């Protein structure tokens, strides 16, 4: 097909529909598409937005530039599901067609009130002197119709001492009041054109979700980089968990190797005294492609999260197919030994019928599977290799130290080598057995160690043909193919 050159800040109009349909048809032929991960039908997908269980269905909104596999004008796309496996594509939810959002509808969260779903987002507004942060509202009714609030923006500008990079409203209710968290950047000099010197989390309060009062900056006893993006708060097993996506972390041996990091803080947000009391804090994911997670309460109040299955701007071999990135699987959140664990939701787990298998497995057409195995701490090391001949990635497990290395250096086409070709993590739980669960959804791979104590999310472009798994020093291997 003939591709059009689309302006970076072009928003979708009726005239584009024919081209976007053609583009989606072209993308649907890609050999790297997943089956149980959400991905864009064309163009680039980034953060999950407005995650909610509303009116008997799951709603996932997402950052979307539909025209190309690059970052451009951000729209909100919308998917809906009853079971977290089959997604109905509801198309565009927010098109940045108003003056106050002239540079895109950026990320945000959702909350239900009086049977309506309130969608909060950042109206991206650039000027030659920097950004003017504006937060906006749209309301979805039970018929799925979405209308922007006529008096948008509901918040205009940044409080004194903060730069124009202030965004990603996350709204929650506590003791009869509504609160909004915004991620930002403190600018003590008052001169920063974009980011200031220090990442900051700002709190606002409202009684009606429309009128908001600034309460102040939330004190965080952690390093905050130069900017905090995408705050999200949820209760997990009686404790509060705050997700943050800081920019500007320095890499450490086993952490923060990607361009940007995602972390969780476990403890309690004190909205009166404006501080988060931290009991535990760690990086959320040890892989290459994970950022901007958002948490929400699923059916029966189960805490779940999705994240952008991507980070930074790596080049993938599928870029030429005009689609890029996707979201992680839905992860159920739990606390074990005072640490946050993330593991695929029950609905995902039930979509694979697990059967015992050999340690060496060569099977065609096996791009959609869950492979699980165990490594006993009594033996020394274990290695598991996945992929096609000449195009593999592998896991190396050191049973003594608990260090696990994900090695992507044997891919036929290296990815984003500037940020390194391996990722390392250390298991803190001293279990007798290390449990390994690998979900391969074509080019989207998620590895869970000890049921989500540590997770590696990453992309790898292996073909179904000649796909193999070769494992040494492991026991109890099982495989299940995606069966929905
Ligand atoms: C995080 C982020 C958000 C912003 C959005 C724009 O990936 O930079 O802070 O709202 O992406 O797409």
CATH number for the segment(s) 352-481: 2.60.120.560
Q: What digits encode the pLDDT tens for the residues 140-152?
A: 999 999 999 999 9
Q: 195 C-alpha to center of ligand 1: Å?
A: 14
Of the candidates 64, 85, 169, 51, the residue with the CA atom closest to the CA atom of residue 120: 169
Could you tell which of 135, 229, 326 is best to mutate to test the pocket of ligand 1, judged by most ligand atoms within 8 Å of the CB? 229
* C-beta of 46 in contact with ligand 1 (< 6 A): yes
Instruction: Give span(s): CATH 2.115.10.20, the chain.
Output: 37-346
The ligand 1 atom at the shortest distance from the C-alpha of residue 291 is: 7
Q: Into which CATH architecture does domain 37-346 fall?
A: 5 Propeller (2.115)
Q: Give the sign of the dihedral formed by CA 183, CA 188, CA 194, CA 195.
A: negative
Q: Given pLDDT bands bounded at 50, 70 and 90, which one contains residue 364?
A: low
The mean pLDDT value for 73-99 works out to 98
**Residue 292 beta carbon below 6 angstroms from any ligand 1 atom:** yes
259-286: average pLDDT? 98
Start and end residues for every CATH 2.60.120.560 domain found in the chain: 352-481
* Residue 363 pLDDT > 80: no
277 given a catalytic annotation: no
The C-alpha atoms of residue 76 and residue 264 are separated, in whole angstroms, by: 25
342 lines ligand 1 (CB under 6 A): no
Q: Cα of 122 to ligand 1 centre, how many Å?
A: 9
Q: Which atom of ligand 1 is least distant from the CA of 308?
A: 7
262 lines ligand 1 (CB under 6 A): no
Condensed to tens digits (0 to 9), the pLDDT of residues 121-138 reads: 999 999 999 999 999 999
Mutation test of ligand 1: which of 66, 227, 292 has the most ligand atoms closer than 8 Å to its C-beta?
Answer: 292
Whose CA is closest to 173, among 120, 147, 209?
209
**How confident is residue 466, by pLDDT bands cut at 50, 70 and 90?**
confident
The reported pLDDT for the residue numbered 336 is: 95
CA of 431 to the centre of ligand 1 (A): 38
Ligand 1 atom closest to 108 (CA): 10
Probe ligand 1: pick from 40, 43, 46, max atoms within 8 Å of CB? 46
- Is residue 365 scored above 80 in pLDDT? no
pTM of the model: 0.97
Of 7, 47, 114, 441, catalytic: 47
Mean pLDDT throughout 210-234? 98
Atom 6 of ligand 1, nearest CA residue: 106
Candidate from 170-184, 316-330, 361-375, 391-405 with smallest mean pLDDT: 361-375
């Amino acid at each position: 097909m003939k591709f059009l050159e689309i302006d970076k800040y072009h928003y979708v109009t009726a005239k584009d529909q024919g081209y976007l349909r053609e583009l989606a048809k072209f993308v649907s032929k890609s050999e790297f598409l997943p089956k149980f991960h959400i991905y864009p039908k064309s163009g680039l997908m980034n953060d999950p937005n407005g995650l909610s269980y509303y009116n008997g269905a799951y709603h996932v909104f997402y950052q979307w530039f539909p025209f190309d596999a690059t970052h451009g004008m951000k729209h909100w796309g919308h998917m809906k599901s009853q079971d977290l496996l089959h997604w109905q594509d509801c198309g565009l939810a927010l098109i940045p067609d108003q003056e106050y959002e002239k540079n895109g509808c950026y990320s945000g969260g959702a909350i239900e009130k009086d049977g309506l779903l309130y969608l909060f987002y950042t109206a991206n507004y650039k000027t030659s002197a920097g950004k003017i942060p504006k937060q906006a509202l749209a309301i979805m009714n039970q018929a799925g119709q979405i209308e922007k609030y006529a008096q948008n923006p509901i918040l205009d500008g940044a409080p004194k001492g903060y730069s124009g990079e202030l965004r990603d409203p996350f709204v929650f209710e506590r003791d009869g009041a509504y609160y909004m968290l915004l991620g930002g950047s403190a600018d003590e000099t008052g001169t920063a054109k974009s980011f200031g010197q220090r990442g900051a989390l700002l709190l606002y309060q409202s009684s009606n979700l429309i009128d908001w009062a600034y309460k102040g900056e939330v004190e965080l006893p952690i390093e905050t980089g130069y900017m905090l993006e995408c705050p999200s708060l949820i209760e997990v097993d009686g404790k509060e968990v705050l997700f943050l996506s800081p920019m500007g972390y320095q890499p450490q041996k086993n952490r923060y190797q990607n361009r940007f990091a995602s972390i969780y803080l476990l403890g309690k947000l004190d909205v009166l005294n404006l501080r988060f009391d931290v009991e535990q804090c760690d990086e959320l994911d040890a892989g290459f492609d994970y950022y901007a997670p958002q948490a929400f309460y699923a059916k029966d109040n189960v805490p779940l999260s999705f994240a952008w299955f991507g980070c930074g701007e790596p080049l993938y071999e599928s870029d030429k197919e005009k689609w890029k990135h996707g979201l992680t699987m839905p992860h159920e959140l739990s606390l074990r030994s005072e640490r946050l664990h993330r593991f695929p939701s029950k609905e995902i787990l039930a979509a694979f019928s697990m059967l015992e298998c050999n340690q060496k497995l060569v099977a065609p057409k096996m791009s959609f599977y869950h492979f699980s195995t165990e490594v006993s701490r009594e033996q020394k090391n274990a290695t598991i290799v996945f992929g096609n001949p000449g195009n593999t990635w592998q896991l190396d497990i050191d049973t003594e130290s608990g260090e696990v290395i994900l090695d992507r250096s044997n891919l036929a086409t290296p990815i984003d080598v500037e940020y390194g070709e391996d990722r390392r993590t250390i298991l803190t739980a001293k279990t007798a057995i290390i449990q390994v669960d690998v979900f391969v959804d074509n080019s989207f791979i998620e590895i869970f160690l000890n049921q989500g104590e540590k997770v590696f999310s990453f992309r790898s472009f292996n073909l179904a043909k000649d796909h193999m798994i070769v494992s040494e020093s492991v026991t109890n291997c099982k495989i299940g193919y995606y069966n929905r």
